[in-house]
Amino acid sequence: MTVDRLLPDQDAKDLIELTRDIADKELARRVDEHERAETYPEGLFATLGAAGLLGLPYPEEFGGGGQPYEVYLQVIEELAARWAAVAVATSVHTLACFPVAAYGTAEQRERWLPDMLAGRIVGGYSLSEPQAGSDAGALTCRAERTEAGDYRITGNKAWITHGGIADFYALFARTGDRISCFLAPGAAEGLTFGRPEEKMGLHAVPTTSAHWDGAVIDGDRLIGEEGQGLQIAFSALDSGRLGIAACAVGLAQAALDEAVAYAKERQTFGKRIIDHQGLGFLLADMAAGVDSARATYLDAARRRDAGLDYGRQASVAKLVATDTAMKVTTDAVQVFGGYGYTREFRVERYMREAKIMQIFEGTNQIQRLVISRHLAK
Ligand SMILES: Cc1cc2nc3c(=O)[nH]c(=O)nc-3n(C[C@H](O)[C@H](O)[C@H](O)COP(=O)(O)OP(=O)(O)OC[C@H]3O[C@@H](n4cnc5c(N)ncnc54)[C@H](O)[C@@H]3O)c2cc1C
């Protein structure tokens, strides 16, 4: 089903049309092949970049789309409805641009943002470590200042979406007692990446560890002040988790659409299964879940666009949307009966892809922690 969106203006409508066109022509055609073969879709991010989809919420003066978050997230949702891994990687790239866009100096923005926002270079976000995921403040990767004013990086990072492929990483490392943020290059002497993790889903985009063995990066790659890293990481994640909420809604919408189409075709006891009330109501609950989840991320996005606090709402959106995606994709498998449990239909993949949405960019337990801390203030 084409989602009938309430969009703020004609520009936004044109952008959604463009996204749907690219999603139909470039994503839908390649998704099954790459997800099954676990191969990276070479050239696809260059196509998305050339179409202007890799820098949408950032200022036009640096080549961004100048779009409100409300619109950017609906673009992410449209991509996710066709190919979750590509939508997640697009959201992570946008997250990786955030430190320079929001905390970089004028010189850093001018130097890096145009290539980042045009997608000529693609980014990753490197906060997590093997022993520090939810507890990001416990990270141990070190950045030591050299006599020349550069930084020597030593330590292990984990779970990097686009690891080994990205041209740059928003890297978080300890400078003394506190954590700092760097725009690290994707290639440096002393930087190596692990083999791609063997994941349950999102097979087309690699997730790897990174090993920094004393690699030296230029001093002007520090973003913000020394010690400001966790503040930058968490404010980036407030925005990033909205991207994951939008991915989850796109995935849930795709599962719902395929379940409805199947339920109109499949017959049991002499009628279409959608006409059995038990199954029709299951589909109704799925539709209510998708609409409600979309409303939560749009509410948070509109608050962000209006300059209001939105951290609590972003956590609510991530929690609601990803739990909904897990439920809706699981129910979609149910609608397909035994066929849903086979790889012949996409719903089994959607169910596997939904699971990670409850885990990354802050698990849903951590979202509850954030929400409860807001309530306790
Ligand atoms: C496919 C994939 C892609 C990823 N991409 C990236 C990326 O691009 N960049 C990046 O930096 N990271 C990335 N991650 C890492 C991801 O963000 C972490 O896995 C996640 O934050 C959880 O950390 P952890 O795995 O160390 O789990 P842990 O922190 O060890 O948590 C284990 C369990 O304990 C629960 N828990 C922990 N603390 C609490 C608490 N205080 N209260 C209640 N429950 C708690 C958690 O919710 C979870 O259920 C990715 C992970 C995956 C699997």
- Ligand 1 centroid–CA 128 distance in Å is 8
Q: Ramachandran region of residue 362, left (φ > 0), alpha (ψ -120 to 50) or beta?
A: left
- Ligand 1 centroid–CA 21 distance in Å is 34
Residue with tokens 């390649």: 30
Give yes or no for residue 3 CB within 6 A of ligand 1.
no
What is the tens place of the pLDDT at every residue in 213-226? 999 999 999 999 99
Structure tokens at 356: 């990670």
Give yes or no for residue 207 CB within 6 A of ligand 1.
yes
Q: Where are the domains of the chain?
A: 10-117, 123-226, 231-376
What is the tens place of the pLDDT at every residue in 298-315? 999 999 999 999 999 999
Give the chain's mean pLDDT. 97
CATH architecture of the domain with range 231-376: Up-down Bundle (1.20)
Is 37's pLDDT higher than 90? Answer: yes
Structure tokens at 56: 């949408």
- Quick check: 62 and 113 in contact, CB under 8 A? yes
- Ligand 1 centroid–CA 197 distance in Å is 15
Give yes or no for residue 360 CB within 6 A of ligand 1.
yes
Which pLDDT value is given to residue 1? 81
Share of the chain above pLDDT 90, in %: 99
What is the mean predicted confidence (pLDDT) over 267-296? Answer: 98
- Quick check: 186 and 169 in contact, CB under 8 A? yes
Residue nearest to atom 22 of ligand 1 (CA): 133
Which pLDDT value is given to residue 283? 98
Which DSSP category does 154 fall into? Answer: E
Confidence of residue 25 (pLDDT cuts 50, 70, 90): very high
- pTM score over 0.75: yes
- Ligand 1 centroid–CA 359 distance in Å is 6
Confidence of residue 208 (pLDDT cuts 50, 70, 90): very high
**End-to-end CA separation in angstroms for the chain:** 42
Structure tokens at 214: 């004393």
123-226 has which fold?
Answer: Butyryl-CoA Dehydrogenase, subunit A; domain 2 (2.40.110)
Judge whether 10-117 and 123-226 match in fold: no
Which residues are bridge partners to 208 per DSSP? 160
Cα 258 to Cα 254: distance, rounded to the nearest angstrom: 6
**Looking at the domain that runs over 10-117, which CATH code has it been given?**
1.10.540.10
Atom of ligand 1 nearest to the CA of 127: 11
Cα 36 to Cα 210: distance, rounded to the nearest angstrom: 25
What's CA 314's distance to the chain center, in Å?
13
E strand or H helix at 111: helix 106-117
Structure tokens at 106: 């004028």
Of 235, 127, 139, 236, residue with least CA distance to 178: 139
Residue in 128, 165, 205, 241 to alter for ligand 1 test, most ligand atoms within 8 A of Cβ? 128
What's CA 165's distance to the chain center, in Å?
16
